[in-house]
């Protein structure tokens, strides 16, 4: 398979490791680190010995994340990733201060409904910035860093990109466009040990969501802790570009 082809679905959920995964010496950038999935991934990475660089928009939320972690963050950045120049500057600073990265886990998300029914241009514009612009900026800015370090790029897609309805086209089209930028990075990593992993997730939930709405149906949803383990388990096998279905 050409490494830029992310359409091949790996149907098996990445297995929970029976052996400890040793990530000592691995430097991992987590964007969207203060969201539920970002917090879970940051925790799991640290449990296995990785050093985490957390990226978020709000210093208070980053400080709250640090208070929840068992070890200090290697670094943290308060940045709006829709700004291409700031994004480029951040990764240059990371390269200078930390001499490269092992992986980037890109977790900037969002959701809005609408398609040919219930279409709102404001929803389209917001999701385009959240999903497409941030992914384009991050993949472009981190390309040379991952090529030189043979690193991993990990991001999240949705089954909605393959199941279009009259009311999900805004979300599905922006998710699909973000996938294309991940595919562009995969093409740039061809011929290196680096790779792009796309996790297909219907929706995330955490323990707080269960406590707040215990009776809400969550069929096909992915607990953030399960996702975090799947991310860590990528280090258990040779890197390859793939699309992994967790829904």
Q: How much is the pLDDT for 19?
A: 57
Look over the chain and give the mean of its residue pLDDT values, rounded to a whole number: 90
Q: How much is the pLDDT for 3?
A: 42
Rounded CA separation 232/188 (Å)? 23
3-state secondary structure 187-238: HHCCCCCCEEEEEECCCEECHHHHHHCCCCCCCCCEEHHHHHHHHHHHHHCC
Q: Where are the domains of the chain?
A: 30-245
Rounded CA separation 201/57 (Å)? 23
In this predicted structure, the answer to whether residue 105 has a pLDDT above a threshold of 80 is: yes
- Is the distance from CB of 198 to CB of 243 less than 8 angstroms? yes
Whole-number percent of the chain with pLDDT over 90: 72
Give the model confidence (pLDDT) of 21-77 as tens digits.
899 999 999 999 999 999 999 999 999 999 999 999 999 999 999 999 999 999 999
Q: How much is the pLDDT for 216?
A: 85
Architecture, CATH, for domain 30-245: 3-Layer(aba) Sandwich (3.40)
Q: How much is the pLDDT for 57?
A: 94
Give the model confidence (pLDDT) of 157-179 as tens digits.
999 999 999 989 999 999 999 99
- Is the distance from CB of 200 to CB of 159 less than 8 angstroms? yes
């Amino acid at each position: 398979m050409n490494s830029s082809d992310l359409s091949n679905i790996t149907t098996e959920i990445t297995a929970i490791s029976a052996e400890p995964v040793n990530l000592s010496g691995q430097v991992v950038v987590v964007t969207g680190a203060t969201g539920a999935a970002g917090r879970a991934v940051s925790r799991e990475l640290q449990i296995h010995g990785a050093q985490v660089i957390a990226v978020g928009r709000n210093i208070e939320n980053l400080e709250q994340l640090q208070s929840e972690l068992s070890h200090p963050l290697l670094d943290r950045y308060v940045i709006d990733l829709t700004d291409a120049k700031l994004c480029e500057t951040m990764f240059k600073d990371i390269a200078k201060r930390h001499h490269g990265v092992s992986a980037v886990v890109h977790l900037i998300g969002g959701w809005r409904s609408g398609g040919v029914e219930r279409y709102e241009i404001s929803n389209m514009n917001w999701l385009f910035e959240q999903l497409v612009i941030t992914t384009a900026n991050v993949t472009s800015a981190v390309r040379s860093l991952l090529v030189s370090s043979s690193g991993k790029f990990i991001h999240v897609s949705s089954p909605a990109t393959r199941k279009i309805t009259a009311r999900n086209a805004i979300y599905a089209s922006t998710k699909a466009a973000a996938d294309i930028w991940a595919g562009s990075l995969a093409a740039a990593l061809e011929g290196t040990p680096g790779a792009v992993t796309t996790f297909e997730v219907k929706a995330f939930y955490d323990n707080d969501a269960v406590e707040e709405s215990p009776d809400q149906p969550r069929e096909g949803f992915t607990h953030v802790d399960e996702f975090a383990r799947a991310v860590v388990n990528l280090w258990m096998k040779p890197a390859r570009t793939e699309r992994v279905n967790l829904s």
